[in-house]
Amino acid sequence: MRISRQTRHWIALIGLWTLVAAVAWIVSVQGFLVLMAPSGGWRFPSVALVTVTAVDRDPDNQLTDSVTVQEGDQERSLRMLKAECREIRAEDEIWILNNYWAGGLRPDQFRLSPQRLLMEYPEPLLLLAFWGIWRVRKAQARERQKELERPRTVWRDEFYRRAERFARDEGEPKP
């Protein structure tokens, strides 16, 4: 089964607009969480390679645990998600992503992964989706232009030729 170019364009547009809607949803939820945070402050996001020295399970906190790490010469205490802390052991070297908002509602650090990077910073993906929409629209316009420039072919069958033989002349009176 062969899918036409126009159908592929529409499928691409639907997929890209769905991606734009998903990114808009993620950004709005992040904005809502920042607005609802009781305290905190903005900071520049960064990535660091650290060595884990200890993982402290916090039974009182439902969302995060404390992880002590060694970054270069200094020791830091990180607040990370419990699910991420379960996978971490002492003496592991991990990459961490510092959150753009340091506050009490969300973790201050995350374990760096492509999924986490896209979830925390989806704006480049949004720009890429808009660029894709622009390209698909441009391709659709080119296809429409080609279609308009193509000479129109009218196919006539034998019926029309036979009917022309019996056609009235313009000067002939109507019966």
* 76 belongs to a structural domain: yes
Q: Which two tokens stand for residue 153?
A: 């072919």
This prediction's pTM: 0.65
pLDDT in tens, 155-167: 767 776 777 776 6
Among residues 89, 43, 33, 35, which one has the least CA distance to residue 63?
A: 33
Q: What is the CATH number of the domain that holds 50?
A: 2.40.50
Read off the pLDDT band of 56 (50, 70, 90).
confident
80 located within any domain: yes
Does residue 44 fall inside a structural domain? Answer: yes
Residue 51 lies in a domain: yes
Are the C-beta atoms of residues 46 and 39 closer than 8 Å to each other?
Answer: no
Domain assignment present for residue 154? The answer is no
Is residue 165 domain-resident? no
Q: Residue 168: is its pLDDT beyond 90?
A: no
Residue 167 within any structural domain of the chain = no
Domain annotation covers residue 63: yes
What is the domain extent for residue 50? 39-124
DSSP 128-158: HHHHHHHHHHHHHHHHHHHHHHSPP-----H
Closest CA relative to residue 139, chosen from 21, 18, 20, 8: 8
SS3 of residue 98 by DSSP: strand
Across residues 127-146, what is the average pLDDT?
95
In whole angstroms, give the CA distance from residue 35 to residue 168: 81
Can you tell me which residue has the tokens 């904005």?
A: 31
Report how many domains make up the chain. Answer: 1
